[in-house]
Amino acid sequence: MRISTPFALRARLPLSGIGLLMLAGLLPALAHAANPAYEAVTEARLLGAQKDLGWLMYRRDYTSSGYAPFDQINAANVAGLKPVFDYKTGLTQGHESPPVVNGRFMFITTPMNHLIALDATTGAVLWTYVHDLSKAALKTVCCDVVNRGVALFENKVYMATLDNRLVALDGATGKVLWNQQLIGADIGYAMTLAPLVVKGKVIVGVSGGEYGGRGFIEALDAGTGKRVWKTYTIPAPNEPGGDTWPKDAYKTGGGGPWLTGTYDAEADTLMWGVGNPGPWLATLRPGDNLYTDSVIAMNPATGKIKWHFQYTPNDSWDYDGANETVMVDLTYGGKPYKAVVSASRNGWFYAIDRTNGKLIYMEKFAKATSVTGHKDGKVTTDAALRPTVDKEVFTCPSFLGGKNWWPISVNPVTRMAYVPTMHTCMKIKGAAVRYKAGLPFLGESFTVMHDPDNPNWGSVQGISLDTGKQVWSHASALPWNDGTLSTGGGLVFSGSADGHFMAFDAKVGKVLWTSEELSSGIIGVPSTYMVDGKQYVAVYAGWGGASPIWGGDMANDPRVKGIPVGGHLYVFRLQ
């Protein structure tokens, strides 16, 4: 693994981009001499990330808020937002990472594990690293060869890779400092998430629920890469929750924790969402199947599980529970709670007490028929809508979810969560399946379809944190596959599948600004930062990910099929 720039990438860049990448890849010492100073990202800065001028981690801070207090760009002047630069990656798969910013250093990742450092004000390339995937077939990467960004700590930048490595590089120069293999490639696992650094440990989780991989979360020493602890999300028979699986089913039980977790510093608790069980067909694995489709709370020093809450017991619809868990303080029914909230794939918006894992409330944010509610704090489902090998069912939402991976944001002033939403249903039927390492392990066939009661594929919603009820909604004919960013300027930013980056009034959902049409559909997570007293907003355009691969009728909609591809990073500020 080395700093490099492949010819195929150079050939698709403008001449100025080629020169900059050659400088970064072939003359790192000269590039380093011209780079701005790199400020160490200390533990204190991570703990105070909400107040930092940069964007220091995947969802800005440990609460996973996706909120920045900056108000230079606000509802009164956002119409003056203009592009500052547009960086072209030369790649055509899905571009999903947020720009992570430390001072003038901006770090972006691309499909196929390229990591690029840019000047956050000009887009000049400071260095680039291309991870060597030549020995990995990537046959067990489920949903496009994507990456969701980096973690920062001290002088290092960390990237998880599709071939299940964690790589640490020098933030100032791109020099590889260590490279640790967690598990082999092509046997049922991949890594696409942004790592999370907590108390000197880099923490990652794996994908693999569609291939029977037994999910795990692992912590490594941030300085050396030494492996510190590993927690399986599917318990063995002698562990708590092990009795929720048939004999030996835990070995291929899925439960990939494939999105970045949340850290409660006050309680010293790490919270992480866990994905779907394997195989998809639930009749093959009777029981609740812990800890799939759950949020689990762990001790970050040891990985020991403290509590859990399960969104969908004995899931047979791929209602993956890996979605973000956002820390909020809320008041429900007149009582204050320390909570985590999540918009689940199953169409319900959940608030969970983060001190003990108990349900506070669950409210529908999309049409939901298979998951019906709760009884005594446990989620209930409709047995009539469970597929078998002899029965096809029609249910909502589809396995793509009322919301998929793209993250929500919250605003502590408006007391709302901003939820990118899809309105889909599906036909799904059981099928015979046998486990074989490296091959899909589903046991179901399916077709994604329209919600018959909604003509639109998507929307963005504002949801009250204190009630779970919708406050406003912006409908979209195309699927809404982008995360949201909320700011102290009273704005919510998100991007559309037809290539428009938009700013909404955070209180009422009115569209206040729309960019000109960008190069591609937007699925990249937006971020914002301040440099030299100026606020910037940045987002990737680069259509791809799960929707065009697994989207059925939605993916075949001519308006969706016609979305152009190609990765561009767009950065905006007031002019």
pLDDT tens digits, one per residue of 427-469: 999 999 999 888 899 999 999 999 999 999 999 999 999 999 9
3-state secondary structure of 482: coil
Cis peptide before 36 (omega within 30 of 0): no
Choose among 306, 384, 313: nearest CA to 344.
313
| Element at 204 (helix H, strand E) | strand 201-205
Alpha-carbon distance 483 to 500, whole Å?
Answer: 13
Q: Can you read off the two tokens belonging to residue 200?
A: 């000197």
Which strand (E) or helix (H) includes residue 560?
A: helix 558-561
What does the pLDDT look like over 256-289, one tens digit per residue? 999 999 999 999 999 999 999 999 999 999 999 9
- With a pLDDT cut of 70, the percent of the chain lying above it is 94
The stretch 132-152 carries a mean pLDDT of 92
Enumerate residues 6+ apart whose C-beta is below 8 A from 502.
493, 494, 495, 496, 511, 513, 514, 515
Q: How many Å apart are CA 186 and CA 575, to the nearest integer?
A: 48
Whether residue 10 has pLDDT greater than 70: no
Instruction: Transcribe 301-324 into DSSP letters.
Output: TT--EEEEEESSTT-SS---B-S-
Lowest mean pLDDT among 3-17, 46-60, 189-203: 3-17
Question: For all residues of the chain together, what is the average pLDDT?
Answer: 93
What is the per-residue pLDDT for 34? 67
How far is residue 225's CA from residue 414's CA, in Å, rounded to a whole number? 41
What stretch of H or E contains 375?
strand 371-375
Any idea what the Cα angle at residue 183 is, between residues 211 and 243, rounded to 5°? 60
Q: What are the percentages of helix, strand and coil residues in the chain, rounded to 5?
A: 10, 40, 50
Query: CB under 8 Å to 335, separation ≥6 — which residues?
Result: none
Give 529-573 pLDDT, tens digit per residue: 999 999 999 999 999 998 888 888 888 999 999 999 999 999 999
Amino acid 35: pLDDT: 84
Residue 158 CA to its chain's centroid (Å): 16
13 Cα distance to chain centroid: 28
Which residues carry out catalysis? 318
pLDDT of 345 higher than 50? yes
Phi, psi of 283 (to 5 degrees): -65, -15
Do 273 and 293 meet the contact criterion of CB atoms below 8 Å apart?
no
The least confident of 45-59, 397-411, 553-567 is 553-567
C-alpha span between 490 and 434 (Å, rounded): 52
Tell me: cis bond preceding 291? Omega within 30 of 0 counts. yes
Mean pLDDT across the stretch 99-105?
A: 98
* Interval 506-520 mean pLDDT: 97
What value does the mean pLDDT take over residues 131-140? 90
Residues 481-498, mean pLDDT to the nearest whole number: 97
What DSSP designation does 526 have?
P
Residue 5's pLDDT is what? 34
11-31 pLDDT, tens digit per residue, is 233 333 333 333 334 434 344
In SS3 terms, 225-277 reads as CCEEEEEECCCCCCCCCHHHCCCCHHHHCECCCCCCCEEECCCCEEEEEECCE
216-221/201-205 β-pairing: antiparallel
pLDDT in tens, 77-90: 999 999 999 999 99
Q: Give yes or no for a cis peptide into 397 (omega within 30° of 0).
A: yes
Q: 159-168 burial by CB neighbour count: b if 16+ within 10 A, else e?
A: bbbbbbbbbb
Question: How far is the C-alpha of 385 from the C-alpha of 393, rounded, in Å?
Answer: 6
């599709």: which residue's tokens? Answer: 162
**Domains detected in the chain:** 7-574 (2.140.10.10)
Q: What is the pLDDT of residues 165-210, one digit of tens each?
A: 999 999 999 999 999 999 999 899 999 999 999 999 999 999 999 9
